[in-house]
Amino acid sequence: MKKNRINFLRRTQLLQSATLICVILMIISLVRVSALLPGVSKEADKKKSQAKAKIYEKEYVRGSILDRNGNTIAFSQKPGGARTYSHPYAFSNLVGYWSKIYGTYGVEKTMNEELVHSNCGANPKQKKGADVSLTIDAALQERAYKDIEKYKGSVAVLDAKTGEILALASSPSFNVSEIEDKWKKINEKEGVFLSNAYQNPVAPGSVFKLITSKEIVEAGIEREEVEDTGSITVNGQTIRNYGGKAYGSISFREGFVKSSNVYFMNRALKLGGLRFIRQEKAFYLGKTFLLILQQSILTLI
């Protein structure tokens, strides 16, 4: 009887051990499988990175953001300390903000991991995150913003040889230095958190006349004259020249110099929509572009 009980107990223990081993193996396999699933592994990495960033923020001084000439755009003086912005309006849609209350936005968000700690090249002994250098020229950015601050629009300036972005201003904007004190008031302004330069789709305006000009020249109708009366009606909608000016009989040269809406609309109607559709590939009309900040705007120091 005792032998039977002992054998029974041994079999039970063996069964329990085998079950435990199977459970452990299943857990290991599930972990391995989850690591292969993009959504699961990325989410886990994201949470891990965020947790690590919070720890570093308490110990490290956040790195600075500089323009192409080394001028400081954003900086901190102590770990977890308030952020200071030298151009609070001109860079708000681009550099964005860092806030204990409202998190990060813009370059502050895109490069948060590098700015928070020094794994990307800064000296760990300094207890300071890596600095980030932009291809943006701060003086040019400020000038571009000043030119459009009273309007809704954007200015993008690129180096034609290198493709570097020298200015990327957008309006309306907001004072990034007041993000914590006036959050509610800032949010009452429409469109301030979307850059008109690359996030918010807006009508191209007279810049589209460059494409129409190409078609006019290629069609050989640049010498034909158009009677500009100051306005033209298309499908029930009246389009006027700026200030309602009428330029009389004008050809392409005069129409281009004066940026006559009447002239270019008249020519566009004559050319027909098919000619413009063919320009899609040449000018990437209707295409979506990914602005890769790390390559086109940012470099780590």
pLDDT at 2: 47
pLDDT tens-digit series, residues 16-25: 665 556 555 5
Q: What per-residue confidence (pLDDT) applies to 116?
A: 86
Strands 132-134 and 226-228: what pairing?
unpaired
Which pLDDT value is given to residue 294? 42
**At residue 135, what is the residue type?**
T
127 pLDDT band, cuts 50/70/90, is confident
Domains of the chain: 59-200 (3.90.1310.10), 205-283 (no CATH)
Cβ pair 86, 71 in contact under 8 A? yes
How many angstroms separate the most distant Cα atoms in the chain?
Answer: 119
pLDDT value of residue 95:
94
- The model's confidence at residue 6, banded by pLDDT at 50, 70 and 90, is low
Q: Which of 85, 198, 68, 196 lies closest to 139, judged by CA?
A: 68
pLDDT at 51: 64
Q: When comparing pLDDT for 281 and 262, which is higher?
A: 262
Q: What per-residue confidence (pLDDT) applies to 34?
A: 43
Q: Which residue has the higher pLDDT, 33 or 104?
A: 104
pLDDT band of 35, cuts 50, 70, 90: very low
Which three-class secondary structure string do you get for 239-282? Answer: EECHHHCCCEEECHHHHHHCCCHHHHHHHHHHHCHHHHHCCHHH
Instruction: Answer yes or no: is pLDDT of 4 > 80.
Output: no
Predicted confidence (pLDDT) at residue 201 exceeds the cutoff of 90:
no
What digits encode the pLDDT tens for the residues 229-270?
999 999 999 999 999 999 999 999 999 999 999 999 999 999
pTM metric for this prediction: 0.65
Average pLDDT on 33-61 reads: 62
> Average pLDDT of 145-149?
95
Predicted local distance difference test score (pLDDT) of residue 146: 96
**Per-residue confidence (pLDDT) for residue 196, from 0 to 100:** 86
- What single DSSP character describes residue 208? G
Cα–Cα distance for residue pair 85/64, rounded to 1 Å: 10
